[in-house]
Amino acid sequence: MSMQNHGERNAGEIPCFQCGVCCVRWQPLLSPEEIRRLSQDLGISPRTFKRRYTRPYPLRRGWRQLKAGAAGCVFLAYQGSRALCTIHAVRPQVCRDWMPSLDKRECQEGLRKLNEQGVVTLDELYAAAEDRQRFTEA
């Protein structure tokens, strides 16, 4: 996943429209600390978490990569045309740092995908007026 300094704003940054493209395309690396935090939140041991949800990452000792299922990240779920992160509140830092933007291919692809599914108006993209305004400004 592309990383950006936390809190830094990109001119094309938009509110996420939950297309799921970034979560299908990228599976983040997890540090041992993140594995402990996520496993604790799920109420399982780090060993069980690693076995169920990750695979070894050979280029960094001790790090693991989230598994990808048929629909992307193992923690990605769909509700209609919208992708939802089932661990959103405790998601890995790299996922927190991801900033949706009209400049990113993933977001452009997601917008096309939603358009093909018939989600074409700002009201359909975003329920909140503030999000519609941010998208328009971008």
Rounded Cα distance between 14 and 76, Å, is 20
pLDDT at 90: 94
- pLDDT, tens digit (0-9, with 9 covering 90-100), for 47-59: 999 999 999 998 8
pTM score of the predicted model: 0.79
Question: What's the N-to-C CA distance of the chain in angstroms?
Answer: 21
Distance between CA atoms of 93 and 137, rounded to whole angstroms? 27
Contact 125, 132 (CB under 8 A): yes
The 3-class secondary structure across the chain, one letter per residue, is CCCCCCCCCCCCECCCCCCCHHHHHCCCEECHHHHHHHHHHHCCCHHHHHHHHEEECCCCCCCEEECEECCEECCEEEECCEEEECCHHHCCHHHHHCCCECCCHHHHHHHHHHHHCCCCCHHHHCCCHHHHHHHHHC
Cα(124)–Cα(42) distance, integer angstroms: 32
Give, for all 138 residues of the chain, the pLDDT tens digit: 433 444 455 567 899 989 999 999 998 999 999 999 999 999 999 999 999 999 999 888 889 999 987 788 999 999 988 899 999 999 999 999 999 998 999 999 999 988 888 877 888 888 888 988 888 887
The token duo for 32 is 């041992």
pLDDT at 1 (0 to 100): 42
